[in-house]
Chains A and B, each alone.
Chain A
Amino acid sequence: MEEQVRQVMGDVLNLDPGSIDGSTSKDSTASWDSLSHINLIVALEQEFQVSFDVSEIESMLGYSDILETLERKIHA
C-alpha cells in the first residue's frame, strides 16, 4: 500500500515517488497546494476505492497522515 500511495502522490504532485517519506507534507512541498490537495484526495479515493469525509480531508496533510488514515479506512 505504501508504494501505491507514493505512486499516486508522485503523479498528482509531480514528485519522484522514491523521494517521498515522512517529511513530505503540504507545508514542505511547493507543488502541494490547496488545489492539488483536493486532486490528491480524490486520486487516493479512486485508487483505494474509499471515500473520505471532510475532517479526514483536512487532516491528511502529510505522507504519514495519509498512510494512517488509509490504514484505518481500509481495515475498518
Chain B
Amino acid sequence: MTSSPNDLSAIRSSFINSLQAGEKFLAIELARTLLNRDQGLRQVTFISRQLEKSPRTKLALRPLKVALLSSFSVEFLRDALAVYSFLSGIDLHLYLPGFGQFQQEIRNPASGLYAFSPDVVILAVEGQDWVPEIYQEFLDKVPEGFDKALARFQEELQSLVQIFRANCKATLLVNNFVPPTWKKLGILDNQSSTGQAQLVHRVNESLASSCQQHPGLFIVDYAGLVHRHGALRWYDDRMNLYARAPIALDMLPWLSREYTKFFRGLTGQTKKCLVLDLDNTLWGGVLGEEGLTGIQLGPVYPGNAYLAFQNAILDLHKRGILLAVASKNNLADVEEVFAHHDKMLLKREHFASVHIDWGLKSDSLLKIASELNIGLEHMVLVDDNPAECEEVARRLPMVTTIALPAQPEKFVPELLQDGWFDGLAFSSEDRRRGELYHQRDEAESLRNSSGSLEEFYRNLEMQVTFASVTKASLSRSAQLTQKTNQFNVTTLRYSEAELAERMQHPNWVLTAAAVRDRFGDNGIVGFSMAQFCADTLEIDTFLLSCRVIGRGIESAMLAHLCNQAIQRGARLIRGRVIPTPKNVPARDLFERHGFTKVSEAVGGATFWALELQLNMVPMPTWMKVHSDVEVAAEL
C-alpha cells in the first residue's frame, strides 16, 4: 500500500468528524478517498459501522428502500451496498429476506416484501437456481428438452413480473445469467446451438425483451460484470461450499458499484457534464512547454492511449453528455491545437463550454455550471493532477473528481467503471443534447440582439406540441420527473411504472410538451400530471427542462391545462409549490398566472387555486401551439 498508516488514520478521523458534523459532501469525499486507497473488507466494514452511528437526518441523505431477493446468501453484500449507496448520497434501507425465498416473496401478496414498500427490488438469482436444465441438469436433458425449459422460464418470468406489478410499483432490477464457468461439453459446447453457452444467451435475450414489455423493469448485466472481472476471480468455490456465499467477498464492492449506478439513475443523480483538463489528460505533455508539435497525440504510444481516451469521451458526447474544458493554459495555444492539430478527435464544437485561464479550477467549474445552467452535483472533473482535484473537492465537494492514474492506458476504465453518466433512459433528446446546447448558444445570442422580450420570443418562432403521454414518451417523461430540479413545482420523482399506472386511469391527465424553435427541435421538454377530482383539476407535477426556461413555455402549458379543465367541466384548477433549495425559478409560477394563494403549510409549501369561470390563463401569442390531447368527456 502506498499510504502510511498515520495518513489513513488521519483521514478516518476526519471522516468520523465530518459525519458527526453532518457535512454530507465532505464525508462522502473522505469515504471515497479511503475506498480509492483500499476497498477491502476492513475499510468497507469500518465505513459501514460509522454510517450506522451517524446522525442520518443531519446529513440529509436521500432515503432509498431496496429489497434484495436472491437464491444465495447476499447478507455479505449489506455493508458494501450501504457504503457505495452513501457515496451517492443515498441512505439505504435494505430488506433482505432469507435466501431462496424470491418466488414466495413475490407471489405472496402478504409477504414482507410488499409490507416493506420498497422503491427498488433487486432479483439476484444465479442461473443454476432458476434454470437448472441448462446448468447442472444439462447432460440429463435431450436437446428437445431445452425449448421446453426456455418456455418454462419465460412463462415463470412473465407470471412473476405480473404478480409483482399487481402488488408493487417499485422499479425491478433483474440480474441476467452467467454462462457456466466450466461447460459440460468442454470445447464441443460452442459448436452447437444447444450448447450451454448458446442456451444461456437465449435465456438472457428473453430477459432483455421482457424489459421492453414491462415499464420499470431493468436488466442488470450481471453476466457482463462477471465477464469483466473473470469468473475464476468472481466466484469463490471455497466460501460457496462453506458458507453458501458463491461470490468472492472482495468482489462485492464491484457488485455494489454496479447496483448504485441504477440507484443513481433512479434518484436523478446521473451526471450530466464532464469537465476535462487538457495537459496530460487529453494529450501527453504540457502544451505550454512542448508546443503544438511536441504534445503526444497520435498513432504511437502514449499518444494512442490519449486518442483512445478522447474516443471514449467523444462517445459520451454522442450519448448526450455535455463536455467542458477547465484548463490552466494560454488561450491562444489551446485555440491553435483545436484549429491545427490534425490528430485531435475532440473538436472545439464538441465542448459546450471552454475555460482557459490561470485562476482557480474551482472558479472555472462555477462559471461552467452557471453558463450551462446545471447543478455542480451533476458535474465530473477529470484531471491528471491530484492537487487540482483536491482544490475542487475541498471547495466544491458535490463535484465528483477523478484524479487520473499515471498510465494513460488506464484512463478509459477509470472514467467508465462507475458509470457516472449512465442514465436509465436514452431518448433522442439525449442523443442530440450537444447539438441542442450549441443551438441554445445561438438562441442566447439572438436574445441579446432582440429588443423587447416579446420580440425575442417571437423571433424564436417556437412551436409547442402538447400530447398525452404514451408508451413512446413514457421513458422520457419519467426521466424528466427524476432529473428536473429547477423548474419543478413539487419535485416528485416517478418511476415509469408509476406513470404507466396513472396513464391508464381516466381521471389522470399526463401531458408531454415538445418544443421546436428556429434553431431546431428540442424534443420533449415539459411534463405535467394532473388529476380530476370532482369539479377540480389538481396539478400534481409541473416541470420544464432547464434548457428552455425563460421563454414562456410554462404559460402555454398552464393555458393548455386550463383548456383541458374547462372541456371537462371543471370549475377550479389547483396547484402546489413545495419549495426546495433548487426550484426558485418555479416558485412564483401560479402567482404570476393569476392564481390565488389558498394556504401555506408549515415548511413553506403553498397551495394555489384559479376559478375557471372568472379567470383563464391565456395561451401566449408568440408561439404556435398544436395539441394531440384527447380529453375524456365529462362523465
Listed in ascending order, the chain A residues whose CB lies under 8 Å from chain B are 7-8, 11-12, 14, 34-35, 38-39, 42-43, 46-47, 53-54, 57
Binds A, one of B167-175, B204-212, B243-251: B243-251
- Residues of chain A contacted by B49 (CB below 8 angstroms): 11, 14
Q: How far is the CB of B68 from chain A (nearest CB, A)?
A: 15
Most buried by B among A8, A39, A42, A46: A42
Cα–Cα distance between A7 and B43 once the two chains are bound (Å): 11
Q: A38-B245, A57-B242 are known contacts. Are A43 and B75 too (CB-CB below 8 A)?
A: no
- Residues of chain A contacted by B75 (CB below 8 angstroms): 35
Q: A11-B46, A39-B249, A42-B249 are known contacts. Are A47 and B40 too (CB-CB below 8 A)?
A: yes
Partner of B45, one of A12, A47, A54: A12
Cα–Cα distance between A41 and B75 once the two chains are bound (Å): 16
Q: Are A12 and B243 in contact, with the CB atoms below 8 A?
A: no
A-contacting residues, B426-484, CB 8 Å? none
Cα–Cα distance between A60 and B245 once the two chains are bound (Å): 19
Q: How far is the CB of B130 from chain A (nearest CB, A)?
A: 25
- Residues of chain B contacted by A12 (CB below 8 angstroms): 41-42, 45
Q: Are A46 and B76 in contact, with the CB atoms below 8 A?
A: no
Closest residue of chain A to B238 (Cβ to Cβ) is A54
Q: Are B45 and A38 in contact, with the CB atoms below 8 A?
A: no
Q: How far is the CB of B40 from chain A (nearest CB, A)?
A: 4
Q: 4 closest A-B pairs (Cβ-Cβ)?
A: A43-B41, A46-B40, A42-B249, A11-B46
Q: Are B242 and A42 in contact, with the CB atoms below 8 A?
A: no
Q: A14-B49, A53-B238 are known contacts. Are A42 and B41 too (CB-CB below 8 A)?
A: yes
CB pairs A–B below 8 angstroms (20 shown) = A7-B42, A8-B42, A11-B42, A11-B45, A12-B42, A12-B45, A14-B45, A35-B76, A38-B245, A39-B41, A39-B249, A42-B41, A42-B249, A42-B250, A43-B41, A43-B45, A46-B42, A47-B42, A53-B238, A57-B242
Cα–Cα distance between A62 and B243 once the two chains are bound (Å): 19
Q: Are B76 and A38 in contact, with the CB atoms below 8 A?
A: yes
Q: Are B42 and A43 in contact, with the CB atoms below 8 A?
A: yes
Closest residue of chain B to A46 (Cβ to Cβ) is B40
- Residues of chain A contacted by B250 (CB below 8 angstroms): 42, 46
Known: A11-B43, A42-B239, A43-B41. 9 other contacts (CB 8 A): A7-B42, A8-B42, A11-B42, A38-B239, A39-B45, A39-B249, A42-B250, A54-B241, A54-B242
Q: How far is the CB of A11 from chain B (nearest CB, A)?
A: 4
Q: How far is the CB of A7 from chain B (nearest CB, A)?
A: 8
- Residues of chain A contacted by B249 (CB below 8 angstroms): 38-39, 42
Most buried by A among B40, B41, B49, B245: B41
- Residues of chain B contacted by A53 (CB below 8 angstroms): 238
Cα–Cα distance between A44 and B65 once the two chains are bound (Å): 32
Cα–Cα distance between A8 and B238 once the two chains are bound (Å): 22
A-contacting residues, B218-274, CB 8 Å? 238-239, 241-243, 245, 249-250
- Residues of chain B contacted by A11 (CB below 8 angstroms): 42-43, 45-46, 49
Q: How far is the CB of A50 from chain B (nearest CB, A)?
A: 13
Chain B, 156-167, contact with A by CB distance < 8 Å: what is the 0/1 string?
000000000000
Q: How far is the CB of A43 from chain B (nearest CB, A)?
A: 4
Number of A-B contacts (CB under 8 A): 44
What band does the interface of chain B fall in when counting residues whose beta carbon is under 8 Å from A?
10 to 19
Closest residue of chain A to B241 (Cβ to Cβ) is A54
- Residues of chain B contacted by A35 (CB below 8 angstroms): 75-76
Q: Are B242 and A43 in contact, with the CB atoms below 8 A?
A: no
A-contacting residues, B30-82, CB 8 Å? 40-43, 45-46, 49, 75-76
Cα–Cα distance between A53 and B249 once the two chains are bound (Å): 15
Q: How far is the CB of B16 from chain A (nearest CB, A)?
A: 13
- Residues of chain A contacted by B46 (CB below 8 angstroms): 11
Q: Are A39 and B40 in contact, with the CB atoms below 8 A?
A: no
A-contacting residues, B104-127, CB 8 Å? none
Cα–Cα distance between A43 and B46 once the two chains are bound (Å): 11
Cα–Cα distance between A43 and B41 once the two chains are bound (Å): 5
Closest residue of chain B to A31 (Cβ to Cβ) is B49
Q: How far is the CB of A62 from chain B (nearest CB, A)?
A: 19
Closest residue of chain A to B5 (Cβ to Cβ) is A7
Cα–Cα distance between A42 and B252 once the two chains are bound (Å): 12
Q: How far is the CB of B112 from chain A (nearest CB, A)?
A: 20
- Residues of chain A contacted by B243 (CB below 8 angstroms): 34, 38
Q: A14-B49, A34-B243, A38-B76 are known contacts. Are A43 and B40 too (CB-CB below 8 A)?
A: yes
- Residues of chain A contacted by B76 (CB below 8 angstroms): 35, 38-39
Q: How far is the CB of B64 from chain A (nearest CB, A)?
A: 23
Most buried by A among B43, B76, B243, B245: B243
Cα–Cα distance between A8 and B43 once the two chains are bound (Å): 9
Cα–Cα distance between A5 and B573 once the two chains are bound (Å): 67
Closest residue of chain A to B243 (Cβ to Cβ) is A38
Cα–Cα distance between A12 and B45 once the two chains are bound (Å): 6
Q: How far is the CB of B7 from chain A (nearest CB, A)?
A: 14
Cα–Cα distance between A8 and B242 once the two chains are bound (Å): 22
- Residues of chain B contacted by A46 (CB below 8 angstroms): 40-42, 250
- Residues of chain A contacted by B238 (CB below 8 angstroms): 53-54
Closest residue of chain B to A43 (Cβ to Cβ) is B41
- Residues of chain A contacted by B40 (CB below 8 angstroms): 43, 46-47
Q: How far is the CB of A58 from chain B (nearest CB, A)?
A: 8
Closest residue of chain B to A8 (Cβ to Cβ) is B42
Closest residue of chain A to B12 (Cβ to Cβ) is A11
- Residues of chain A contacted by B242 (CB below 8 angstroms): 38, 54, 57
Q: How far is the CB of B370 from chain A (nearest CB, A)?
A: 42
Closest residue of chain B to A40 (Cβ to Cβ) is B41
- Residues of chain A contacted by B41 (CB below 8 angstroms): 12, 39, 42-43, 46
Closest residue of chain A to B236 (Cβ to Cβ) is A42
Q: How far is the CB of B249 from chain A (nearest CB, A)?
A: 4
Cα–Cα distance between A35 and B488 once the two chains are bound (Å): 45
Chain B, 413-425, contact with A by CB distance < 8 Å: what is the 0/1 string?
0000000000000
Cα–Cα distance between A46 and B251 once the two chains are bound (Å): 12
A-contacting residues, B481-530, CB 8 Å? none
- Residues of chain B contacted by A43 (CB below 8 angstroms): 40-42, 45
Cα–Cα distance between A32 and B41 once the two chains are bound (Å): 15
Closest residue of chain B to A53 (Cβ to Cβ) is B238
